[in-house]
């Protein structure tokens, strides 16, 4: 064998070994959604921590980047990010993405001032109310359909903080949000005095499952999806999954 060719083969084998040792690395796009996801939190929030550890079981490292939600979605749909989380199911999203198995169950409720006598049985009861909302947010198919057909209107702003300020000032009467997310935002941005002014209605708007989305634009997405689902199901079966959320409840 020619010595130059021999050296070239050795170098190629070394490079392959280095790549194998380094493992695969993925870029994941998130949006701010405390307490589940936040760039300012240790481990970036309980859901980000869970996703990171799921991929670690497959020998895959992850780079976590936070964007505005619409940008996280758009960049991943174009294949500029490897996956994004977490999102509720909407049929139109299936055009761009494969859905993982459910990674989170959420409970959406209406927040309101304790001094405001709010009650509701169906969405028609919201017709005369000032309703806050997040830009780009869906609150489930029934809510979205009522909004599209003019049953009520909502005033959308960028952040939970802005919506709660409007609620405290009386500019809106109710604000729909996931229960844990809403109380985390109140604790983060407001004084105890203001937090005590706000409560939530016990009736759920929806109990919703959220998913990690893998872009159809990338050929590797199907294989990654299988790996992710396999490990997620293992975590659920062996009790490891629940421990992440137990730690969240304990404030870790």
Q: What is the pLDDT of residues 193-232, one digit of tens each?
A: 999 999 999 999 999 899 999 999 999 999 999 999 999 9
Looking at the fold, whether 188 and 233 belong to one and the same domain comes out as: no
Closest CA to 92 of 6, 174, 246, 213: 213
Taking residues 4-20, what's their average pLDDT?
Answer: 48
Torsion over CA: 220, 223, 225, 227 (sign): negative
- Residues spanned by the domain of 16: 3-104+210-249
Same domain, 75 and 140: no
Residues 64 and 23 in one domain: yes
68 and 189 inside one domain: no
Q: Are residues 79 and 135 in the same domain?
A: no
Shared domain check, 152 and 64:
no
CA distance 162 to 175: 11
Is residue 17 pLDDT above 80, yes or no?
Answer: no
- 197 bridge partner residues: none
Q: Are residues 49 and 65 in the same domain?
A: yes
* pLDDT band at 171; cut points 50, 70, 90: very high
User: Do 188 and 232 fall within a single domain?
Assistant: no
**Domains contained in the chain, number:** 2
Picking from 75, 67, 66, 82, the residue whose alpha carbon sits closest to that of residue 24 is 82
Q: Which of 50, 77, 87, 80 is nearest to 65 (CA)?
A: 80
CATH number at residue 189: 3.40.190.10
pLDDT band at 35 (very low <50, low <70, confident <90, very high): confident
Question: What's the pTM value of the predicted model, to 2 decimals?
Answer: 0.72
pLDDT > 60? residue 13: no
202 and 120, same structural domain? Answer: yes
């Amino acid at each position: 064998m020619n010595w130059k060719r021999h050296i070239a083969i050795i170098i190629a084998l070394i490079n392959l070994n280095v790549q194998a040792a380094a493992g695969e690395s993925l870029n994941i796009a998130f949006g701010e959604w405390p307490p589940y996801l936040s760039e300012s939190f240790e481990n970036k929030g309980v859901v980000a921590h869970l996703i990171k550890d799921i991929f670690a079981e497959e020998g895959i490292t992850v780079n976590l980047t936070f964007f505005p939600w619409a940008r996280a979605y758009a960049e991943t749909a174009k294949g500029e990010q490897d996956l994004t989380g977490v999102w509720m199911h909407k049929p139109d999203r299936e055009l761009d993405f494969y859905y993982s198995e459910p990674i989170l169950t959420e409970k959406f409720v209406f927040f309101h001032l304790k001094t405001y006598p709010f009650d509701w049985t169906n969405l028609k009861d919201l017709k005369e109310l000032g309703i806050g909302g997040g830009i780009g947010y869906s609150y489930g198919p029934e809510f979205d359909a009522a909004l599209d057909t003019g049953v009520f209107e909502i005033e959308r702003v960028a952040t939970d903080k802005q919506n709660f300020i409007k609620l405290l000032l009386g500019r809106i009467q109710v604000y729909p949000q996931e229960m844990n997310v809403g109380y985390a935002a109140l604790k983060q941005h407001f004084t105890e005095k203001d937090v005590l002014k706000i409560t939530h209605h016990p009736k759920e708007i929806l109990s919703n499952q959220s998913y990690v989305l893998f872009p159809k634009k990338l050929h590797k997405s199907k294989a990654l999806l299988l790996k992710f689902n396999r490990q997620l199901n293992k975590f659920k079966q062996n009790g490891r999954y629940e421990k992440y959320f137990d730690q969240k409840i304990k404030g870790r």
